[in-house]
């Protein structure tokens, strides 16, 4: 006789009944199948939970990445505004004559290029308008938005001359343009010379057109030797190239 369990199902009105017999072997098989199904359900639930968590993490990372990109854009805007503010601050300090005076810089005129003597100053035009090219070299950057003068690429220690007669209004050091000289020519015009290697004039002295006032360098924020040259009409920068071409012979 087989060993197992009998299950008797009787209806409420006792009109009929059903009898089922389950052997121990079949019961064990059913139990194992049930446990296997439960295990599959648990594993599937865990995998779904992991996928759901990963999806949430990806969504959070994408949102964070978008926020970082927005913050980076704002930082770049702030950096550009600071650069413009620094340039404007330099201009104001130079105009007001309150720029900090640097330590004494030794002149380097003895190291100038011999062929510089090929420049011949023809004449100084009436009204003392700055009209001379301040150094020999290639124009490496033009006057334009955000750049208040021209850059003239030239060998280090090349002489820098005054573009017209005038009085040295200021000399000093600027974090952007390094060693600089400002010359006032008349009530309308002044000129600015930046990135100088040496300053060879003193504040308040009178200079003549073509007189050496310093030497080309790479001081301040500069990656190569050049002169930053500005012409200012009533304290507002104007394009120096409009004043130069006909008064210098190379």
- Asked if residue 205 and residue 118 are part of one domain, the reply reads yes
- What pTM was estimated for this model as a whole? 0.52
224 and 152 share a domain? yes
Q: Is residue 85 part of a domain?
A: no
Length of the chain: 250
Q: Give the domain range for residue 44.
A: 4-78
- In this structure, the answer to whether residues 198 and 115 fall within a common structural domain is yes
> Tell me, what DSSP letter sits at residue 64?
H
Domain assignment of residue 222, yes or no: yes
Q: Among residues 78, 100, 120, which one ends one of the domains?
A: 78
Give the closest residue to 150 by CA, choosing from 70, 208, 229, 58: 229
Kindly state whether residues 227 and 167 are assigned to the same domain: yes
Question: Is 97 a member of any domain?
Answer: no
pLDDT (tens digit per residue) in 138-148: 899 999 888 99
Q: Which of 167, 143, 97 is nearest to 237 (CA)?
A: 143
Q: Is residue 153 part of a domain?
A: yes
Domain assignment of residue 37, yes or no: yes
Question: 53 and 125: one domain?
Answer: no
Q: Are residues 178 and 244 in the same domain?
A: yes
Residue 191 pLDDT > 70, yes or no? yes
> How many Å apart are CA 187 and CA 208, to the nearest integer?
16
* Structural domains counted in the chain: 2
Whether 189 maps to a domain, the answer reads: yes
Do 116 and 184 reside in the same domain of the chain? yes
Q: Please, are residues 128 and 165 in contact by the beta-carbon 8 Å criterion?
A: yes
Tell me, yes or no, whether 174 and 218 share the same domain.
yes
pLDDT tens digits, 81-136: 777 777 666 666 555 554 544 444 444 444 444 444 444 444 444 567 898 899 99
How far, in Å, CA of 199 to CA of 215, rounded? Answer: 7
* Listed residues 30, 62, 78: the one ending a domain: 78
> Which residues have C-beta within 8 Å of that of residue 171, sequence separation ≥ 6?
101, 102, 179, 180, 181, 182, 199, 201, 202, 203
Q: Are residues 173 and 238 in the same domain?
A: yes
Segment 32-69, tens digit of pLDDT: 887 888 888 888 888 888 888 888 888 888 888 888 88
Q: Is 134 found in the same domain as 19?
A: no
| Residue position matching structure tokens 């504040």 | 203
192 within domain boundaries: yes
């Amino acid at each position: 006789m087989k060993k197992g369990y009998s299950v008797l199902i009787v209806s409420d009105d006792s009109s009929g009944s059903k009898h089922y017999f389950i052997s121990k072997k079949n019961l064990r098989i059913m139990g194992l199948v049930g446990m296997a199904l439960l295990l599959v359900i648990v594993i599937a639930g865990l995998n779904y939970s992991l996928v759901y968590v990963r999806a949430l993490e990806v969504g959070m990372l994408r949102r964070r990445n978008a926020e970082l990109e927005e913050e980076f854009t704002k930082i770049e805007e702030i950096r550009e505004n600071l650069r413009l503010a620094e340039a404007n601050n330099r201009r104001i300090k130079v105009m007001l004559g309150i720029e900090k005076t640097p330590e004494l810089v030794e002149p380097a005129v003895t190291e100038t290029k011999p062929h510089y003597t090929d420049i011949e100053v023809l004449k100084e035009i009436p009204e003392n308008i700055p009209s001379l090219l301040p150094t020999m070299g290639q124009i490496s950057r033009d006057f334009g938005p955000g750049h208040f003068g021209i850059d003239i690429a030239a060998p280090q220690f090349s002489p820098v001359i005054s573009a017209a007669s005038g009085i040295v209004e200021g000399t000093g050091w600027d974090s952007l343009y390094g060693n600089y000289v400002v010359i006032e020519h008349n009530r309308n015009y002044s000129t600015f010379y930046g990135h100088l290697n040496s300053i060879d004039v003193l504040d308040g002295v009178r200079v003549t057109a073509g007189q050496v006032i310093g030497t080309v360098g790479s001081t301040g924020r500069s990656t190569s030797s050049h002169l930053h040259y500005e012409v200012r009409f009533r304290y507002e920068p104007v394009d120096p190239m409009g004043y130069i071409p006909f008064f210098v012979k190379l």
